[in-house]
Amino acid sequence: MSTRLQKGGRLIDRSTRAEFTFNGRRLIGHAGDTLASALLANDQMLVGRSFKYHRPRGIVAAGPEEPNALVNLGRADRLEPNQRATTTELYAGLEAASQNHWPSLDFDIGVVNNYLARFLPAGFYYKTFIHPRAAWKHLFEPIIRQSAGLGSAPKETDADRYEFVYAFCDVLIIGGGIAGLQAALTAGQAGKRVILLEQTAHWGGRAVVDGDTVENESAEEWVTSAVDALKTMENVTLRNRCMGAGVYDHGYVLANERLADHTPGDGRPKQRVWRIRAGHIISATGAIERPLSFAGNDIPGVMLAASVRDYVVNYAVSPGDRTVVVTNNDDAYLTAITLVEAGLSVPVVLDARAQADGPLPSRARALGIRVETGRGIASVKGGKRVTGVQICLQAGEGAVMEEIACDAVAMSGGWSPVVHLWSHCGGKLIWSETLSAFVPDSARPPLNHDGSAMVSCVGAAAGVYDPADIIAGTDSDGAATAIVPVWMMPQGAPIGLRSKMWLDYQNDVKVSDVQLAAREGYESVEHTKRYTTLGMATDQGKLSNINGLAVLSQALGAEIPQVGTTTFRPPYTPVTIGALAGEARGEIFQPLRRTPMHDWHDQNGAYWEPVGLWRRPYCYPRAGETHDQAVQREVINTREKLGLLDASTLGKIIVKGPDAGRFLDMLYTNMMSNLAVGKCRYGLMCNEQGFLSDDGVVARIDEDTWLCHTTSGGADRIHGWMEDWLQCEWWDWKVYTANVTEQYAQVAVVGPNARKLLEKIGGMDVSKEALPFMQWADGSLGGFPVRVYRISFSGELSYEIAIPASHGAAFWDMLHREGAEFGAMPYGTECLHVLRAEKGFIMIGDETDGTVTPLDLGLGWAVSKKKADFLGKRGMERTYLADPERWKLVGLETLDGSVLSDGAYAVAPGTNENGQRNTEGRVTSTYYSPTLKKGIAMGLIKNGPDRMGEVVELNKVDGGTVKARIVDAVFFDKEGEKGNA
């Protein structure tokens, strides 16, 4: 059994007990424990079920490489699936539950897959479930989906908050072991700005666990003094619990700091994501131990040798009473020694090598540990827990020589440098025969923005393991850490054994699966990965990739470097999605742009419509009113009395300079240079394709100043468009622009009573004579400084009044107060749409969609034929745009008075070559007109203007059609008397 030892545990505080639950069972751990160490201390080795076969799974590692010990952590609005027990710090009240089983961890129906394992090899699903066709969707896929997946899906909104922080440094060091600390000391002492990150809560890495000696001190002492020294340096920032997640181009690194994962609900952000821009990145990310491939290597109780050491030394937890050590290198002997020194039993060390005479094997022998060289494990015995191992010759085919009872196996297949961060941006690797591992090829590093090397690796991440070499900065020759690769145990294992050798514990990929993939032609390492799912589990192959690769290369008869690796992609370990969304949730999910009258709208029941980042009132429904009824009321009131519209979102751009007229003549399709001071003109803008992109009223302010109104969504886009041409094409033209959209609140005062209201308020002459249609004037109204434009988008008598934004709300209030006697009512965007449609005015975004020209819309009068050039002129001349057969704007009236469907198409006889029904036009805007008490619509119809009075058929989504007559698009007040009043 696994249990807590009486003594030791460098990271735990035995005086602080932490009560927690696992599958509802109340257990006790200590402060400083990880969830994994606390589970082991409570003899809970079985922690989950594998993905495919639902085999029992135990804790195998002690760090982020753990593939098995994944739990549902917490519950309700703090439920977190797939949380790694090995990196979860224990806290009082922690709730964990195991995953991927039903009804229980110990008895899982899904384990039936295990008994069928022979029928479910790699890629079996590509070869079956093909017939009958409907069965995949209705039968097979649902079953597979239920069986797959791991943790539970959260149901509630996350209770926690997250944030980002930007940081900058000359040198970013990732990994707080000896190598990282030494790199930080060197860079810090050289005066560089340094950030040092460590993913765990503790500094020192492996050396402090293994009791190494560094510069004649114990590693523990060396680390303490190094950290102390770094803390005194103002140019050095230290962060632990902070994982270097990804390296991106130009020295950008993403790091994930766990602030309150171990103190949930304490009010701090749960996590903080660091966005670091570093001059240089040093990856001191250590190495990960590899499992060995022997039959039954996935049975709970089989663990990585160094992880066993971690549990004993750091947490005083023994994974088992009797632990068999199996290895191909010297390092694992330290595990045997550590266990024996802790008073535990190591029945045998099985060393696959023919000889083992290094210092550690010698020490082990001296302690009386039985060491067998040239031996391996033929098979591990046990079901939900190891009960023993069968020993065989490594060089043989698995004939059992001896069976030894044990309850744990500590395995070591050598070490793989953690080269993820080196590789994220394209750093290349070379295969080290000495280390049997891929190491960074320092001749082919990832490149920074200036072409220099962006990342370097130190310590174990570079394949340098000896602290002396790390401190001295020398490359080790690797002799001391040389290993004999063992990719399969025993070497000649028959298929029966190979099909029980696990490579990927979580995804259930075995040696036989990789061999099958190779045999079937999935020869590329990426093919094999994808065919077998090797390395695609939540550990992203940290344990399995190299072993799988080696098996593949053997199967192909190729060398490992020729087979190559799969691509390393960020993040190094999975990162909480909420953390990557940062602060952007709820109210601050996106900026909300507010006009000065925004609060008034909100308080007066506005039903909102998002328009870009603005939100505009769609209508103001009253109690008991539907939105449609509210819109109709607003339309009628505006037509008959007085409507008030918050038009502040309209874009307002000042264009000034000696060349401003010339510039606007290029920008607009019509002439603007000849607009008289004091007057307004409607203008159109096209892109270079000749398609309409924006429209609005331009006012000439003075000799060299124009004010251009744009659509609400268009202000920033059009301002950018102007600057683009001024900066990049016509840079010698003397023109300045300024976007003053937000400087002004703008109110449209619309309706027969509009003038009455303004005259009542008083302050300037707004009579027809003093301020005729399409003119503007500065003045004051009710004591407010205003600029009044006589323009109309409704066909009504209308004043658009601009007022400094800081007076906007007060001015709006005043209009309502003073306007009450004239029937003043606010109206929203939908009423605006109906009003303009009744008048046949086009709306950018409704009549246009990026493929419509001004000529299509009958706006030829606003397209200058005199100008030699304007943006879009050449584009419009292209054959397809100049085609006389194009669909053109007309009005549409249904024969029965009904309202046409939004987006309906006009159908034409027959079908095209692809069997699609022919069409001859489409509806662009369609409304019920409360003024005319019938449906009105605008649409683009083939040769439309030449077909007045003809009836066309518009389709319905359910298959029928509606007949409509082609009419003039101006439905109301065709002579324009109301607006000119």
Using the rule CB under 8 A, which residue among 190, 738, 820, 951 binds another protein? Answer: 738
Task: Name the β-bridge partners of 255.
Answer: 244, 274
Using the rule CB under 8 A, which residue among 229, 468, 654, 970 binds another protein? Answer: 654
Using the rule CB under 8 A, which residue among 103, 557, 591, 949 binds another protein? Answer: 591
Using the rule CB under 8 A, which residue among 522, 682, 812, 972 binds another protein? Answer: 522
- Nearest approach in angstroms of CB 368 to another protein is 42
Task: Provide the residue type at 818 as one letter.
Answer: E
In terms of CB distance, is 207 or 726 closer to another protein?
A: 726
Please give the residues from 71 up to 100 whose contact with another protein meets the rule CB under 8 A: 78-82
In terms of CB distance, is 494 or 772 closer to another protein?
A: 494
Q: Of 722, 697, 720, nearest to 707 (Cα)?
A: 697
User: Read out DSSP for 670-721?
Assistant: S--TTPPTTBEEEEEEE-TTS-EEEEEEEEEEETTEEEEEE-GGGHHHHHHH
10 binds another protein (CB under 8 A): no
Please give the residues from 908 up to 927 whose contact with another protein meets the rule CB under 8 A: 912-917, 919, 922
Using the rule CB under 8 A, which residue among 358, 374, 561, 657 binds another protein? Answer: 657
* b/e code 614-653 from CB counts within 10 Å (16+ = b): bbbbbbbbeeeeeeeebbbbbbebbbebbbbbbbbbbbbb
| Piece of the chain touching another protein by CB under 8 A; list 287-295, 449-457, 746-754, 943-951 | 449-457
- Nearest approach in angstroms of CB 978 to another protein is 27
Please give the residues from 934 up to 973 whose contact with another protein meets the rule CB under 8 A: 955-959
In terms of CB distance, is 281 or 389 closer to another protein?
A: 281
Using the rule CB under 8 A, which residue among 366, 443, 479, 577 binds another protein? Answer: 577
How far apart are the C-alpha atoms of 534 and 522, rounded to whole Å?
13
The DSSP secondary-structure symbol of 803 reads E
In terms of CB distance, is 357 or 902 closer to another protein?
A: 902
778 binds another protein (CB under 8 A): no
- Nearest approach in angstroms of CB 861 to another protein is 20
- Nearest approach in angstroms of CB 579 to another protein is 9
| Piece of the chain touching another protein by CB under 8 A; list 139-147, 195-203, 459-467, 891-899 | 139-147
| Residues 298 and 382: beta-carbon distance below 8 Å | no
- Nearest approach in angstroms of CB 417 to another protein is 20
In terms of CB distance, is 6 or 567 closer to another protein?
A: 567
Q: Of 393, 572, 582, nearest to 490 (Cα)?
A: 393
In terms of CB distance, is 625 or 973 closer to another protein?
A: 625
603 binds another protein (CB under 8 A): no
Angstrom CA distances, 383 to 114, 307, 540, 699, stand at 12, 21, 26, 84
How far apart are the C-alpha atoms of 617 and 637, rounded to whole Å?
17
| Piece of the chain touching another protein by CB under 8 A; list 42-50, 633-641, 804-812, 932-940 | 804-812
The DSSP secondary-structure symbol of 588 reads G
476 binds another protein (CB under 8 A): no
Using the rule CB under 8 A, which residue among 131, 231, 865, 933 binds another protein? Answer: 131
600 binds another protein (CB under 8 A): no
Please give the residues from 146 up to 185 whose contact with another protein meets the rule CB under 8 A: 146, 148-158, 160-161, 163-168
* b/e code 880-908 from CB counts within 10 Å (16+ = b): ebeeeebbbbbbbbbeeeeebbeebbbbe
- Nearest approach in angstroms of CB 444 to another protein is 12
Tell me if residue 374 falls in helix, strand or coil: coil
Using the rule CB under 8 A, which residue among 6, 21, 806, 898 binds another protein? Answer: 806
- Nearest approach in angstroms of CB 948 to another protein is 24
* Exposure on the CB side of residue 853, measured as CA atoms within 13 A: 25
How far apart are the C-alpha atoms of 329 and 482, rounded to whole Å?
8
Residue 361 φ/ψ, nearest 5 degrees: -55, -35
Q: Of 390, 351, 396, nearest to 500 (Cα)?
A: 390
Decide: residue 128, CB within 10 A, 0-12 exposed, 13-18 middle, 19+ buried: exposed
280 binds another protein (CB under 8 A): no
Binding string, residues 281-310; x marks residues near another protein by CB under 8 A: ------------------------------
The DSSP secondary-structure symbol of 140 reads I
Using the rule CB under 8 A, which residue among 14, 277, 365, 381 binds another protein? Answer: 277
Residue 663, both tokens: 């510039």
- Using left for φ > 0, alpha for ψ between -120 and 50, and beta otherwise, residue 149 falls in left
In terms of CB distance, is 365 or 807 closer to another protein?
A: 807
Q: Of 43, 83, 583, 643, nearest to 319 (Cα)?
A: 43
Task: Provide the residue type at 177 as one letter.
Answer: G
| Piece of the chain touching another protein by CB under 8 A; list 246-254, 290-298, 362-370, 437-445 | 246-254
881 binds another protein (CB under 8 A): yes
Please give the residues from 534 up to 563 whose contact with another protein meets the rule CB under 8 A: 538, 540
Please give the residues from 40 up to 69 whose contact with another protein meets the rule CB under 8 A: 51
Using the rule CB under 8 A, which residue among 32, 58, 67, 246 binds another protein? Answer: 246
| Piece of the chain touching another protein by CB under 8 A; list 223-231, 295-303, 746-754, 905-913 | 905-913
| Residues 210 and 223: beta-carbon distance below 8 Å | no
- Nearest approach in angstroms of CB 421 to another protein is 14
| Residues 550 and 438: beta-carbon distance below 8 Å | no
Cis amide prior to 571 (ω within 30 degrees): yes
In terms of CB distance, is 905 or 972 closer to another protein?
A: 905
| Residues 417 and 439: beta-carbon distance below 8 Å | yes
- Nearest approach in angstroms of CB 558 to another protein is 12
- Nearest approach in angstroms of CB 575 to another protein is 5
878 binds another protein (CB under 8 A): yes
How far apart are the C-alpha atoms of 182 and 470, rounded to whole Å?
8
Q: What angle do CA 129, 132, 137 make, to 5 degrees?
A: 65
Please give the residues from 187 up to 216 whose contact with another protein meets the rule CB under 8 A: 193
- Using left for φ > 0, alpha for ψ between -120 and 50, and beta otherwise, residue 625 falls in beta
| Residues 639 and 751: beta-carbon distance below 8 Å | yes
807 binds another protein (CB under 8 A): yes
Using the rule CB under 8 A, which residue among 275, 365, 381, 717 binds another protein? Answer: 275
Tell me, by CB under 8 A, how many residues bind another protein: 182
Please give the residues from 855 up to 874 whose contact with another protein meets the rule CB under 8 A: 868-869, 873-874
The DSSP secondary-structure symbol of 865 reads S
Residue 719 φ/ψ, nearest 5 degrees: -60, -45
139 binds another protein (CB under 8 A): no
- Nearest approach in angstroms of CB 714 to another protein is 14
762 binds another protein (CB under 8 A): no
662 binds another protein (CB under 8 A): no
Using the rule CB under 8 A, which residue among 19, 106, 526, 968 binds another protein? Answer: 526
Where does 596-679 show beta strands of DSSP type E?
607-611, 614-619, 642-646, 651-656
Using the rule CB under 8 A, which residue among 1, 28, 201, 248 binds another protein? Answer: 248
Provide CB contacts within 8 A for 452, sequence distance 6+. none
In terms of CB distance, is 205 or 246 closer to another protein?
A: 246
